[in-house]
Amino acid sequence: MLVTGGLGFVGSHVCVALAEAGYDIVALDNLANARLSVLARLREIAGRRISFVRADVRDGRALAQVFRRRPVAAVLHFAGLKAVHESVAQPLEYYDTNVGGTLTLLRAMRQHDVRRLVFSSSCTVYGAPESLPLTETHPLRPANPYGRTKMIAEGLIADCAAAWPELKYALLRYFNPVGAHPSGRIGEDPLGVPNNLFPYIAQVAVGRRAKLNVWGGDYDTQDGTGVRDYIHVMDLAAGHVAALARLESQPESFTVNLGTGRGYSVLEVVKTFERVCGRPIPYEIRERRAGDLAQSWADATLAERLLGWRARYGLEDMCRDAWRWQSLNPDGYPERPVSAAETRRRRSRRRS
């Protein structure tokens, strides 16, 4: 298996699940948002060798080299940029990486006859829900450049498969992935101030931040705060293994939501996290965040029907594992990501 973005949050957990299912793995990552130390931890948890290639998914030559050197039956494509507000400020970067990267990958797969693709899509492609729960047939109206890059990449994959029918793909639309591997060795380690709720709460709990800003207390929800379908990253990882198994046994492409089918409010998450970590999470209700939805949750029945998969973990498990990761690694992974340019500078300094 080739796992692009394999050292990132979701990709690293999927690598563990794939290794446990007996697959050989090559992880490819340019370390734009990952640390190399993830690799040693991955190998330790997975208990088997995971090959690693440091490369950019937009580099067709690097992909060709991977495909020439070893048999690759399928690609799981996680490499991408994912911050909504950043995508508004830097649309070209987002289109280049998320759409251009997928295009380069598809071209290399075609050239080397690699016929299976699992793609990380997002519930963001739906935009504001017209009705809940969100089914896969809900219209696609993404409200920001990030969401549009995902929608376009989905279309690109489907168009390629129409022209090259041997290509079979799974488009997996994730809801809100949270939590961490139960070992506490790998987890979510955002750079700078976290945008997302779980890493922010975890950093408050561990003392890195004073209090949580709750964005909006006047939504039309049970307690006025936003409601989301949080899904444990280990459930998400199992969903990928199930999707791959389905592509292997029944060569038919499909698109499914990966969520739990139920939503929790921000305050419900705060209360559960407090209970699990045994510490108070101070918070303050603030103005709504621009672009936020009141509520979103998945209809997760298609995944169950097609893949025989359903989420096993609840909110308490998600909080417990997020807390274990954060408390064992209060400052995240030991080193910060290093850009390719910086690595080249360091090498040339060492040589001179």
Which pair of structure tokens corresponds to residue 94?
Answer: 């987002």
> Which residue reads 């067709």 in tokens?
60
What are the Cα distances from residue 347, in Å, to 21, 38, 336, 352?
A: 38, 21, 17, 9
Contact call for residue 195 and ligand UD1 (CB under 6 A): yes
Contact call for residue 34 and ligand NAD (CB under 6 A): yes
Contact call for residue 291 and ligand UD1 (CB under 6 A): yes
Which partner from the list ligand UD1, ligand NAD, none does 261 bind, CB cut-off 5 to 8 Å by kind? none
Taking CB under 6 A as the criterion, which residues in 89-128 touch ligand UD1? 122, 124
User: Could you count the other beta carbons within 10 Å of the beta carbon of residue 190?
Assistant: 16
Contact call for residue 81 and ligand UD1 (CB under 6 A): no
* One character per residue 91-120, x = contact with ligand NAD (rule: CB under 6 A): ------x---x------------------x
Contact call for residue 79 and ligand UD1 (CB under 6 A): no
Taking CB under 6 A as the criterion, which residues in 321-340 touch ligand UD1? none
The C-alpha atoms of residue 13 and residue 140 are separated, in whole angstroms, by 28
Instruction: State the catalytic residue, choosing from 23, 94, 146, 333.
Output: 146
CB of 104 to ligand NAD, least distance (A): 9
Strands, E assignment, 157-239: 168-174, 176-178, 212-215, 227-228, 230-232
Tell me which amino acid residue 56 is: D
Distance between first and last Cα of the chain:
39
Of the residues 3, 9, 283, 320, which one makes contact with ligand NAD according to CB under 6 A: 9
Backbone angles phi and psi of 333, in degrees to 5: -65, 155
Interface with ligand UD1 (CB under 6 A): 84, 122, 124, 146, 176, 195-197, 200, 212-216, 226, 228, 266, 289, 291-292
